[in-house]
Every structure is written in structure tokens, then in C-alpha cells.
Amino acid sequence: MHMCKVTHVAVLRAIDNQDLFFEARSEPTLLLDLAPTSPGVAGSHIALVAFPAALVRGGMQKSKSAAHIESAKPSGISSATKVPIDGPGIAGTVSVLPRREVDLGGWNADDRLLMSMGRTHGQHLQRLSLRDCHRVTGRGIAEGVARLLILRHLDLAGCVRVSSESIKAIASTCEALESLDLSDCLAIDDSAVKEISLRCRRMHTLYLARLPLLTDIACQSIYERPRRSSTPWQCLSLSGCERITSRGILAAIARDKVPSAITSLDLSHMRQVSDLALLGAKLPALTSLDLRGLAIRDEGLAWAGAGTGPALRELRLDGCLSVTAIGIAAIADSCSDLESISLRRCYGLGDDALHALHQGLSSRRLRSVHLDYLRDIHAPALRTFFASFPELLEVSLIEVHKLDDTAVEILARTAGPRLRRLRVTEDHRDGDGAARGGGSGTRLRDVALRALGKHCPDLEELTCAGMRHSTDKGVEALLRGCSRLLCLSLGGAP
């Protein structure tokens, strides 16, 4: 028996059936005896052990103290294997559950662990997450992960020590890869993207967010792989890649005027990308488009609408300061089946933007709308808007100062039990912290809370921070009616 200290959440690993190693996020609180030589456990395995909090506190009976180990499937194990455990306050067995995926995101994984995985799990591991594993370097990727020959999904986001050369090693051996996340891997350059695009022909999902070394060459490489022998791209994220320009994006999504199979495209926070990136785009399959923080104008939205069409379901325009109601009308007319739209901090929008959505979204399938910080929206426009969309699930109106009880009451009656999340705040201070005069802020009272309690029994989240005009009676009515409420905030402004 090998003695090992663990916490309520720890990572155990048995290497070559010899010594036990563990890594934990906090100080050890329990002792666990694990017999790596038990029948059926021969060979290396990686296990995530989760003990219930009650067990850690010593409040659980021995008969209920068995823990479950979720493990990458060791060679020769075809079903769950029982391993005896014994120690202070615990007794019983743990189950080694065969799995084809390992999630080490946020753990203190290192190159030694990855190289061990490469030696022992190369023939069955299909999904691996190393998100934010800062100790992992290019050596661990090249000598360990590159040996996982049937790996399909790999998440390396936040692994800041991963190099382009190690990604090339993955591309040369892991040809079965279907999705790869390299976001925030700061050393990745155009050459790595080129190798991935050319060699991993089954890949359809690629996340390259916030990579400062990428240029337009990377965009060109993404679409240069042979079309007939490659899986079409479906999900692509270039968010925050500040050196990529409109020309690079245009070459990627409007290349040879051939319609693209992309379903999700993230171009948010790209400083050198403007309207021209969407000129002539052919994206008939696109369902999700993220343009947050772009210097895009109404013309760009019109081009986006013409290039996407009715398949678009989700649109994010947060912080697009030059967009007006004209652009909103253009996108709404072209994409009438929109289900989610986010317009946070689009300061050029007002009541006419809500009217454009009301007129253009003829299918009335809108389920999520975010209008935070749009201070030129007034209560009458909100009332008409809410009355037009009965399928709303999520509404966010942070610092929409002209909101009133009647608008919330109409929302509650129209959406009814479908409404799940509502965020409403009022703030009576300006940007310098001084109190606003004139009393122009939101004035929600008990009427709004009672309406929510009466018509929205399945409401799960309600944020009404800063509501200074409601009373205990309104809150009581809300709580009586919304029996499934999980999160309630009635405190100060967020």
C-alpha cells in the first residue's frame, strides 16, 4: 500500500505502477491509501479524485465515504475497477472509471506528466485540456502530447510557455485533431498556424485569440489547405489579434467569392479590422458572429447581414460606438431569425434601434437581449419591444435609466414562465461619483417585483441592484412566486 496525502480535490497519478504522485490546490486534509497493484489497475493512469465537502469535515459516515476516480482508460481495462482505500475517517473502495478524456485545466501539471501520458495513453486518449497550465513548456508538448496519436480535441489556452515548434510537432503526428485552442499562447506565430492548417485536415475548430505575433499570413494559411481533402472550417476565433488587418480577414472569409461553411466567427477587439473585413463576405452557414469592439459602421453591418442571411442566430456588437439604428435595421431585415443580440455600450443607439429590431425580426424568436448602458432608451420604446417578443429568456438592462414598472410588468406578462434571467440596475451617480440631479434614474417599485413573482415562476436569476424604492412586501411577493430563484441581488449598484 502506498500512502498519499490528498485534499478534497487532488490529482493522483501512478507512473509505471511504482510511485504515487499527487498535486493539490491547497493544504492536504485527508490521508488516502491506494493500492496501485490491485487487480486490473496495472499500468499508468491519471485520476481526478473529488471528495465531498462533508467527508472533508468528517461529517460523513464510513458507509458513504467511497470516492470516485475519473480516469483516462489504462491499457487492458475495459470496465470500472474497484480499488480498496482505507484511512482515518474513510473506508471502502474507489472506482476507476475508464474514460477517453482528461481535463487538467488549472492544475499544476508539468512536462513530466505529459511525457508519461504520451508513453502510456497514446492509443486511446481523445480529449485533453491543459488550459492555464503555466508549467507546461514546449518540451512537454513536443515529447508528450505529440505522442497522443488519436487525439481529437486539445485545449492549450493560457499555456504561455508553449512554442511554435512544439505546435508543429503536434501537427506532424496528431493528424486526427478536430479542434485546437491556442488562445493566449503568446509565442505562437504564423508558421505554427500554417502547419496546423496544412497537416490537420480533419480540424474544423481553431481558437487563436489574443496572439500578438499573428499577421495576415495566418489568415491566408487557414484557407490554403486543399478543399477537397479537408474538413471545412466551422468555428474560428481571431479575437484580439491586433496585427491582423481587414485585408487578412477579407481574404479569409471572401476568398474567391466561394461560400464558407463557417458557423461561428469571432473577430472581436481587433484594432486594425473595420467595415472592409465584411465586404463581399459569403457566410451562409454562419450562426454566431462576434464583432465586439470593432470600428464598424452601419455599412459594415449591412454587408454582414447580406453575407450571412437567415441562418444567423447570435450577434454581439458590444462597444461598436459608430453603429446607429440604420445598421441595426439592416442586420435585422437580413437576419430575421436572430435569437440573441448584445448591444452593450453602443452609445449611438436609442429608441429607434428598438423599433428597428421590432420591425425587422419578424420571426419573434429573440430569446436574449443585452441593452446595458444605453441611456437614450425610454420606457415607451421598451414597453413596445417587450410586448413583441414572447420567447425572451434573458434580458439585461444595466443602467437603462428610463426603465419603469410598466415596462417590467409587460415583460413579465409577455415572457411569462420562459423568463430565466433579468438584470436591472439603477445608478444615481455620474462618472465622477457625483449624484445626478433631476431624478432621471430608474424608479422601479414593488409593482415590478410583484409582476415578476406572479408571471415568472421559473425565474432563476434576478439582479435589481440599487432599487431604492422597493419594500419588503415587494420582495416577499417575488420570493413566493419565483420558487426556482437561484441568484437574487438587491444590493448597491454593481
Packed helices 325-334 and 298-308: angle between N→C axes, nearest 10 degrees: 0
For the chain, the domain total comes to 2
The model's pTM is: 0.78
Residue 151 placed within a domain: no
Which three cell numbers mark 129? 485540456
Residue 277 placed within a domain: no
Cα gap 134→146, rounded to integer Å: 18
Residue 475 placed within a domain: yes
Distance between first and last Cα of the chain: 53
Residue 374 placed within a domain: yes
- Residues in Cβ contact with 371 at an 8 Å cutoff, skipping those fewer than 6 apart: 343, 344, 377, 396, 397, 400
Last residue of a domain, one of 61, 80, 99: 99
Residue 187 placed within a domain: no
Query: For position 389, which CATH number holds?
Result: 3.80.10.10
Cα gap 135→485, rounded to integer Å: 40
pLDDT string in tens for the chain (494-residue length): 333 333 333 333 333 332 223 332 333 323 333 333 333 333 333 333 333 333 323 322 322 223 333 333 333 333 334 444 434 443 344 444 335 788 888 888 889 888 888 887 777 789 999 999 999 999 999 999 999 989 999 999 999 999 999 999 999 999 899 999 999 999 999 999 999 999 999 999 999 999 999 999 999 888 777 666 678 889 999 999 999 999 888 877 765 555 678 899 999 999 999 887 787 778 889 999 999 999 999 999 998 888 888 899 999 999 999 999 999 999 999 999 999 999 999 999 999 999 999 999 988 899 999 999 998 999 999 999 999 999 999 999 998 878 889 999 999 999 999 999 999 886 544 444 444 434 444 567 889 999 999 999 999 999 987 667 788 899 999 999 999 999 998 765 33
Contact 271, 242 (CB under 8 A): yes
Domain containing 12 equals 2-99
Residue 404 placed within a domain: yes
Closest CA to 106 of 182, 23, 6: 23
Last residue of a domain, one of 71, 99, 127: 99
Cα gap 253→259, rounded to integer Å: 8
Residue 16 placed within a domain: yes
Residue 453 placed within a domain: yes
Last residue of a domain, one of 40, 68, 99: 99
